Amino acid sequence: MSTLIAIRDAALTAGGEYSPAKEKAANRGIYNGRSPLLHRRVKQLLGGLKFKLLFCLSLLCLVVWFSSKIGPFMGWDPDLSSSISVPNRGSYTVLINTWKRNSLLKQSVAHYASCSGTDAIHVIWSESDPPSDQLRAHLKNIVLKKSQTVHKPNFRFDLNEEDNLNNRFKPISGLRTDAIFSVDDDVIVPCRTLDFSFTVWQSAPHTMVGFVPRMHWLDEEKNGMAHYKYGGWWSVWWMGTYSMVLTKAAFFHQKYLDLYTNKMPSSIHDYVMRERNCEDIAMSLLVANATDTPPIWVKGKIYEIGSSGISSLNGHSDRRNKCLNDFVSLYGTMPLVSTNVKAVEAGNEWFW
């Protein structure tokens, strides 16, 4: 304050009039042209930025730690290394079961070759005559033309000497994927829907994930023996529950090919071969018995391009009931687990 008074007095003594502008100019000279208020504001701003940066980093570390703790607790494990062991984790092998329907086979191979997730296509061939050279060349050419990726899917026929429905679940050497998509030659699943179902399977790679749900229920119990009913689509729709997905359009882990062929009771193999039916029920029981978990039904449109199959024949439901109960008696228990969970692609739904 004494300095300011001295400046003002000096100005008056020099014969000039006092003005605030002269005083302000004199003050700038005293503080070397820098304002202490500006210093304070710069320091406050830098201090605030440092605080915000440290706060954000701390919050990020907390989120990462919390995610690592809560994820496994909720049943979701982002590390699938224990369950997906082969290089092509982002791909699947399409296993097409066919029988004397070459025109349908050509359409099916062409379609699945165009799906970006397809790593390989294997055709299960159980006819007495091997595929002709013309058919082989045609299908290989289709795969090369239809594939949308730089990596072209491997294609091959898996030949069998006898007509046996168990052939569709034989182990395959040289597979590069853990994921198997089992499909009949007359079933077309759009690529986008197929890729979505594959992501569902990746979240639960030890169970079956498919598009055709079926169910069972306890019908009656006599003399200590339980008798079960096999329910088709309308039973699933009415009851709102299911316990199987059919292998006419389903994902499962390749390890079940070995379990089906080499570990499942041979009496079930004989039954399937003799009855020419129910290999899909046998696979559902096998997976449920191994995991004690239900399958996952994926809601999505699929297209059946062939004529009616054995499911349209008279007595089909009775034969399926008999298969189910005979297999349960061979297992000694009912391994199927019911559920009402359904996987839906949210982008295709009106309401989330």
Active site residues: 280
Position 238, amino acid = W
User: Which residues 6+ apart lie within 8 Å of 104 measured at CB?
Assistant: 98, 185, 186, 305, 306
Label residue 25 exposed, middle or buried (CB < 10 Å: 0-12, 13-18, 19+).
exposed
Which of 257, 278, 283, 284 shows the shortest CA–CA distance to 338?
Answer: 284
Residue 69's CB is within 10 A of a number of other CB atoms, namely 9
